[in-house]
Amino acid sequence: MTTPSAIEAARVESGKRPQLILFTTGDAPRSRRARANLAEALRRFGQDPEMTQEIDLVQDPAQTFAYGIFATPALLRISDGEGAEVLYGDLSEPQTLERFLMAD
Amino acid sequence: MTEPDQAITKRPTGITGLDWMTHGGLPAAGGTLVLGRPASGKTVLTLQIIAQALARDEAAVFVSFEESRAQVLRDAASFSWGQRLAEHPGFELIDARPSQGAQVSGEFDLGGLLAGIEHCVQRTRAEWLILDGIDQLLYRHRDPFVAIEQVHRVSDWSEERGLTLLLTGKLDQNALAPKHLEGVEFLLPSVMLLSTTLIESRLARRFRIAKYRGSAHTADEVPMLIDTDGVHFPYTEEDSSTIRVERASQERLSTGIDRLDEVLDGGLYRASTTLISGQPGTAKTTLCGSFAAAATARGERVLYLSFDEIQAPVIRNLASVGIELGAPIEAGLLRFVTREAWSSLLETHYHALVRGIEELEPACRIIDPISALFKAAGPDDAKIAIERLLSKTRASGITTVLTSLNSDDDPGSEETLSHASTLADTWLTLGFNVVGGERNRSLSVVKSRGTAHSNQVRELILADGGLDLADVYEYGTEVLMGTARLQKENEEALNQRLRALEDTQRRQDLERRIETAEAEAARLRIELQAQQEEQRARETLSEQQQRDVVRRRQAAAPMSEETPAQGVRERSEGNHR
């Protein structure tokens, strides 16, 4: 699968530090839950939730195609050397989210 | 585009058979689920619908969850309408394949997808939305109810925006819904099922409208073909294009054989169906060639479908008996098509024949032999396919000639493999008559509707100058043909000459006898005349003698009391007594 251009651009910028992008659809219930669950998990790991980028696809639908994200909410993790990984869902399964965040 | 006067507003798909089965098209607003096993033709069907929509300048968005954009366009390029998808500005193709290795934590929905689609729909003013393989995304839901809910959401979203929505998904054998989406078929107003099966190693596709809420539709399972022009539904396309002929024609068409035309009271009725049955070698193809030559000589187009015989040898063999088809072929009046019966499914042959008719618009059609359809693979009965074929051509006014090969198991029987004999207006049987070590061809008219015809078996003669029929020679209870007929004809001719000779001789004899009799009569008349003359001479002499006696007596005898005259009178009267 061809990597969306936005992911490629983000990977260049990220350097060695993983970049997290949370894709939401405004104030939809699942998006609210994803936002909250991610913030809680990041605090637990000692990471600043403000460092996570959020893209609201309702506000900016073109980003759907730029990043190739068609199911929401979705958490995109971009890191140099690992490529891009996606976690679909409202992040309500803590263990899955933790493994995703801790993966190098 | 839509059918506002119907209870449900529809949008035509542009695929003739599909629009016929759905009575006008798909729901204009709302979802249609298209389900099928791999290679059943789901994606091709939806792409073709889009291509037809683009041809009407109706924009469309195609979201692919299984193939990349390049793969979709490459697959479409193999069809005649594929380029339209690549070039039309009203077509938007979105690669929505889930990321490889993606994981799931909790619930997700299609909100982001719908936001992106909304963006495309507004830009293109699309009226069609295809979600191809959405089950590849939704099966990742832990909870199938949530997955089904997403389908419902997409359907409602489409309906609110007046989009005609098609969703495709894979089916397991005998299932009515994709795995993990059981029950989704109850949510959408329309569900179509595509299936595949192998028949004698050949892939056969079938299509069925499992559900169409609020609309009459064809619920039967029908064959579906895919060729370079895309999807076809042969047994339904015929019905949608049928032109009904209201009156039976009174026009007679020549068979190319004058004597046969006489037997058939002028020839074959236009738009009728004629079946020619017989064993191999009985000249069925030759008879067809004669009919084709006669038709093209009238300036009519002929479609000749030959199963298992290629053009060149057929044309050559016909030329050897004076039937020339090369020129009509070159002039475009005769189209000779060869198909191998065993190489395709029954519906494929049927579709090819229908396409040929539509392209050429022939006045006459020949299928040689139609019994070959029994060798084609297919779950359908060949007899039904033949009935459809004849029904279509009868309604469209095409004069049809079919041949049928008699069963090898029953070479002497007049029954054929095809029950077209019950459907045909005229049925000619060809056979062999073996007598005295000689094999001659025979032809008899089993039936000919609307025609007074003889049921006699006649000899069919193949000569350099063409075909001819010879009247039968009945000898006792036998019908003689070939050399035996010629011998008997010669004998009869000889007997006739002998009888004529006898009559001549007898007449001459009588004439001679009359001459003789007339000569005798003349002689007798001369003799009679002579006798009469002699009698008159004797009478004259006798009178003279009497007068001499009287004179002498008067001179010698004295006078008496009687006067001399009295004495002479008395003596004379005494002489006369």
Contact yes or no for B108 and A71 at CB 8 A = yes
Beta strands (DSSP E) in B457-518 are 458-463, 466-470, 473-475, 478-480
> By percentage, how much of chain B surpasses pLDDT 70?
88
Query: Are the C-beta atoms of residues B64 and B93 closer than 8 Å to each other?
Result: yes
Whether the bond between B564 and the residue before it is cis, its omega within 30 degrees of 0, is no
Q: Give Dmax (Cα) for chain B.
A: 199
- A68 pLDDT more than 70: yes
Contact yes or no for A87 and B115 at CB 8 A = no
User: What are the chain A neighbours of B119 within 8 Å (beta carbons)?
Assistant: 61-62, 64
- B565 pLDDT more than 80: no
Domain range for A69 is 5-102
Query: Could you tell me which of B109, B452, B467, B522 has the C-alpha nearest to residue A72?
Result: B109
DSSP bridge partners of B131: B63, B167
Domain total in chain A: 1
B137 interface with A at CB cutoff 8 Å? yes
B95 interface with A at CB cutoff 8 Å? yes
pLDDT digits (tens, 9 = 90+) for B382-438: 777 788 878 877 778 899 999 988 755 444 334 445 566 777 899 999 988 877 777
Averaged pLDDT of chain B: 86
> By percentage, how much of chain B surpasses pLDDT 90?
56
Query: Could you tell me which of B63, B62, B10 has the C-alpha nearest to residue B190?
Result: B10
Between B344 and B395, whose confidence is greater? Answer: B344
User: B113-117, B179-183, B506-510, B517-521: which range is least confident on average?
Assistant: B179-183
Best mean pLDDT range from B51-65, B333-347, B365-379, B452-466? B51-65
Q: Class of the B252-471 domain?
A: alpha beta
pLDDT digits (tens, 9 = 90+) for B247-268: 678 899 999 999 999 999 999 9
Which pair of tokens denotes residue B78?
A: 């193999």
- B572 pLDDT more than 60: no
pLDDT category of residue A12 using cuts at 50, 70 and 90: low
Q: How many residues does chain A have?
A: 104
Q: What is the pLDDT of residue B2?
A: 47
Cβ-nearest to B108 among A1, A62, A89: A89
Strands B473-475 and B478-480: antiparallel
- A26 pLDDT more than 90: yes
Query: How many CB atoms neighbour CB B187 within 10 A?
Result: 17
pLDDT digits (tens, 9 = 90+) for B121-155: 999 999 999 999 988 877 777 777 888 888 889 99
Interface test with B, best of A69, A77, A88 (most B CBs within 10 A): A88
- The Cα B228–Cα B562 span in angstroms is 155
- B574 pLDDT more than 60: no
Q: What is the pLDDT of residue B350?
A: 87
Query: Could you tell me which of B420, B450, B416, B303 has the C-alpha nearest to residue B364?
Result: B303
Interface test with A, best of B63, B69, B108 (most A CBs within 10 A): B108
Cβ-nearest to A93 among B105, B111, B118: B105
Contact yes or no for A87 and B102 at CB 8 A = yes
- B178 pLDDT more than 90: no
pLDDT category of residue B238 using cuts at 50, 70 and 90: low
- B5 pLDDT more than 60: no
Q: What is the pLDDT of residue B412?
A: 33
Domain ranges in chain B?
A: 10-240, 252-471, 476-577
- A38 pLDDT more than 60: yes
Distance of CA A55 to the CA centre of its chain: 9
Query: How many CB atoms neighbour CB B195 within 10 A?
Result: 19
Q: Class of the B10-240 domain?
A: alpha beta
- Work out the burial of residue B495: count CB atoms within 10 Å of its CB; fewer than 13 is exposed, 13-18 middle, 19 or more buried: exposed
Question: What SS3 state is found at B147?
Answer: helix
User: What are the chain B neighbours of A91 within 8 Å (beta carbons)?
Assistant: 105-106
B387 interface with A at CB cutoff 8 Å? no
Question: What Rg value do the Cα atoms of chain A yield, rounded?
Answer: 13
Q: What is the pLDDT of residue B116?
A: 93
User: What are the chain A neighbours of B108 within 8 Å (beta carbons)?
Assistant: 30, 71-74, 88-90
| Same fold across B10-240 and B252-471 | yes
pTM of the prediction? Answer: 0.76
Q: What is the DSSP letter of A4?
A: P
User: What are the chain B neighbours of A84 within 8 Å (beta carbons)?
Assistant: 99
- B242 pLDDT more than 60: no
- Looking up tokens 């038709």 gives B295
- The Cα A78–Cα B242 span in angstroms is 62
Residue range B34-55: average pLDDT?
94
Cβ-nearest to A96 among B68, B105, B107: B105
Between B117 and B239, whose confidence is greater? Answer: B117
Q: What is the pLDDT of residue B416?
A: 46
Residue range B280-304: average pLDDT?
95
- Looking up tokens 């006459």 gives B364
Query: Could you tell me which of A58, B187, A79 has the C-alpha nearest to residue A69?
Result: A58
Report the CATH number that the domain containing residue A74 is assigned in CATH.
3.40.30.10
Cβ-nearest to B103 among A30, A31, A100: A100
Which pair of tokens denotes residue B305?
A: 């479908």
Strands B302-307 and B273-278: unpaired
B123 interface with A at CB cutoff 8 Å? no
User: A33-42, A55-64, B70-79, B347-356: which range is least confident on average?
Assistant: B347-356
- The Cα B75–Cα B65 span in angstroms is 15
Query: Could you tell me which of B229, B463, B451, B256 has the C-alpha nearest to residue B366?
Result: B256
User: What are the chain A neighbours of B94 within 8 Å (beta carbons)?
Assistant: 65, 70
pLDDT category of residue B560 using cuts at 50, 70 and 90: low
